[in-house]
Structures are given as C-alpha cells and as structure tokens.
Amino acid sequence: MANVGFIGLGIMGTPMAGHLLAGGHKLFVNDVKAPPASLTDAGAVACATGAEVAKNADIIVIMVPDTPHVDAVLFSENGVAKGLTKGKIVVDMSSICPIATKGFAKKINDLGAEYLDAPVSGGEVGAKAATLTIMVGGSEAAFNTVKPLFELMGKNITLVGGNGDGQTTKVANQIIVALNIQAVAEALLFASKAGADPAKVRQALMGGFASSRILEVHGERMIKRTFNPGFRIELHQKDLNLALQGAKSMGISLPNTATAQELMNACAGNGMSGLDHSGLCRAIEIMANHQIAKA
C-alpha cells in the first residue's frame, strides 16, 4: 500500500479520493476548504498545505478546475514543489492547458520527481462509480507505478505518450463531447418543434446509428429538464477555450468547436454557466423560442 496525497476535493475529487482510501492506501488530503468528513472519518489525514501533503506522500494527485489552480497548487509559497524529494510522483488529473503542462512537468522533473498528466472523462457519475476514462502523458515507468491507483478510479486507462499528450487527448475528448451535445440538442429541438414526442424520438434513435452515450444520458437530461451539474458549462467553456487557443497557435480552424463555444457563451450570458453542459440546449431553445420539453 502507498502513501498517497490528494489535493482538490470537489464533486469529482472526493469520490476519487474515497476509492483510494477504500483500496487500502494511506491518504493525505488538502483542499481550499475543510476536507469532507466522509474522507477524514474513513482515515484520511488532513494537511494544511500542499507542501505538507507532498512531504507525507510518495504519489501526489491533483484534481482542481483550471491551469492557474494547478500552478498555484504546485508552485505557490507552500505548494507541492516545496515538499517534493527525489523519486516522488506528481499526478495531475485536472483538465488544463497542454502547453502549460509541459512546463509544469519540466519544473517537477528538475526537482528529481516524476510528473504525469492524467485528465479524466466520465464526470461525477464516473468518479462515483470508479469508471472514469483516464488519459495519461508521461514516462512509462511512472505510469506503471501509478497504474494500480488509476485502476481504483477508472476503467479505460491509456498511456498516450509524453507529458502534455494526456491533456491534448482530453481537449480532443471535450471537442467531441461538445459537438455531440450540440447535435443531440438540435435534433431533439427539431423533433419537438415538428410536433413529435422528443422522448419517443430519443428512444427510437437509441436503436440506430445515431445512438451515443450523449444521446442516452444528456438527451434524457434535455427531455426531463434535469440540468443539475455533473460537469458545468463553465468548465466545458474552459476546455473549448483551450481547444480554440491551441488551434490558433497551430494555424488550424475548428469551426464547429467555435460554434459550440458560442452556444455555451450564450448560456453563460443568460446566467446558466453553473448548469450541466447538457444545458447547452438552452441556448438553441432560446433562439427558437421553443423548449424541447416542458419542465
């Protein structure tokens, strides 16, 4: 069993950390607020700083919202970097900028420690069920060391390549998810406006080539009007911004990604940034002056 640190105990971080505890590992935790009692009552040790977590743990997992947060967790005055020694492994499971990730990895490597970027897909449901998809960038040796921990949190675990490649894969994932949400929203809106029952249309489509996990899960959310967040619009906005910034730097065009981002921007402009990203349908509904289904 390993001494593991976990920083970032939000709606996904808390169940992920819980799986590590349940797997028999010694857990040292830190967050901007007091750690949940569900973890500390189960044996997790609360630490005052990231540096304290790093001093106690051999593997330090980070799960925070955005690039600046990871930067602060790692390199602030009492950050993780201050507690690292040779041979320890930092695992960033946040979804952040691939270019910044490469810089973070180099700084950590220069301290004699290993770095893995290992963003996830699956949302709150996947975090709770330990079925997350985990996309990893870093050395094969570090990956093999941490893989037993990944297996406690997820099912589809892939070493994609070097540092930054995990984050690049996550950005690609978020492009696909956003465009699928947009497609499902437009299809169900079209069906509803034409007078068909969107629930029955969805049921019919689930048996054909249009079937997808997005149609199954988020199509149901659109019909039942359940937009409590599993993954917030504001977080998906952040991920698509990474995609569009990266595309600009590479001189390529992502036209449909840009459209999806504008729809999310419209939701945010109407006070809906905290909705689940399936709530993207609200922007399309506002333009059509028609809802897919009644609340």
Tens-place pLDDT, residues 148-205: 999 999 999 999 999 999 999 999 999 999 999 999 999 999 999 999 999 999 999 9
- Report the pLDDT value the prediction gives residue 295, as an integer from 0 to 100: 76
- Report the pLDDT value the prediction gives residue 274, as an integer from 0 to 100: 96
Q: Which two tokens stand for residue 139?
A: 């050395």
C-alpha closest to that of 113 among 134, 154, 77, 141: 141
The per-residue b/e assignment along 222-257, b for 16 or more CB within 10 angstroms, e otherwise, is bbeeebebbbbbbbbbbbbbbbbebbeeeeeebeeb
State the Cα–Cα distance between residues 6 and 26, nearest whole angstrom.
Answer: 11
Q: Are 79 and 72 in contact (CB under 8 A)?
A: yes
Tens-place pLDDT, residues 4-22: 999 999 999 999 999 999 9
Strands 26-30 and 3-7 turn out to be: parallel
Tens-place pLDDT, residues 11-69: 999 999 999 999 999 999 999 999 999 999 999 999 999 999 999 999 999 999 999 99
- Dihedral angle of Cα 254, 259, 260, 265, to the nearest 10 degrees: 120
- Mean pLDDT across the chain, nearest whole number? 97
State the Cα–Cα distance between residues 261 and 249, nearest whole angstrom.
Answer: 18
Distance set, CA 269 to CA 55, 98, 149, 178, 290 (Å): 43, 27, 40, 18, 19
Q: What is the pTM of this model?
A: 0.92
What count of other Cβ atoms lies within 10 Å of the Cβ of residue 259? 13
Task: Report the catalytic residues.
Answer: 170
Three-point CA angle 253, 233, 161, nearest 5°? 55
Question: Hey, which residues does 136 pair with through a beta bridge?
Answer: 159
- Report the pLDDT value the prediction gives residue 88, as an integer from 0 to 100: 98
Packing angle, helices 67-75 and 98-110, rounded to 10: 10
